[in-house]
């Protein structure tokens, strides 16, 4: 992954986007490995909480980035937000956001979310089965045509 991420909207956006991506993906790898390898569960929970918040943030940013990127200092604010979410304190940003926003929303809508996920899983399984059947038919046709032409 490169540090430079090319965008048209401004010279500083490119540098700050690259710095944010680098800091969130590369610099904090060692603490994650140590969390996984440790005997306690607390640090695992801390990093899982961070990744849940980061995932929600990434989805929201995917849709809002086209508008937010026009605000001055957006990328500096984004970097500050991500650093706050990763801060090595007991009540860092990811813990606060998870406990105040994501967890209550999830607990309130868990049954609906499960239904949607199961529905998507069923449709994906049906599509995969259909694709597999079509692939088998196409393979059989190719073999038949090959034998026929020989």
The predicted-structure confidence for 26-78, as pLDDT tens digits, reads as follows 445 556 566 667 777 777 788 888 889 999 999 999 999 888 888 889 989 99
More confident residue, 148 or 79: 79
Domain boundaries, the chain: 11-149
Distance CA 133, CA 122 (A): 17
Distance CA 69, CA 51 (A): 23
112-134 pLDDT, tens per residue? 988 998 999 999 999 999 999 99
Residue pointed to by tokens 């540090």: 3
3-state secondary structure at position 1 = coil
Give pLDDT, residue 21. Answer: 52
């Amino acid at each position: 992954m490169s540090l430079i991420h090319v965008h048209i909207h401004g010279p500083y956006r490119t540098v700050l986007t690259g710095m944010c991506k680098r800091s969130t993906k590369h610099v904090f790898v060692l603490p994650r490995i140590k969390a996984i390898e440790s005997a306690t569960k607390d640090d695992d929970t801390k990093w899982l909480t961070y990744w849940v918040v980061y995932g929600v943030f990434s989805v929201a940013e995917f849709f809002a980035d086209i508008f937010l990127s026009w605000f001055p200092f957006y990328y500096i604010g984004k970097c500050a937000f991500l650093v706050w979410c990763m801060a090595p304190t007991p009540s860092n940003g990811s813990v606060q956001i998870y406990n105040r926003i994501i967890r209550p929303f999830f607990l309130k809508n868990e049954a609906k979310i499960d239904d949607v996920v199961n529905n998507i899983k069923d449709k994906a399984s049906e599509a995969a089965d259909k694709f597999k059947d079509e692939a088998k038919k196409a393979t059989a046709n190719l073999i038949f045509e090959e034998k026929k032409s020989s």
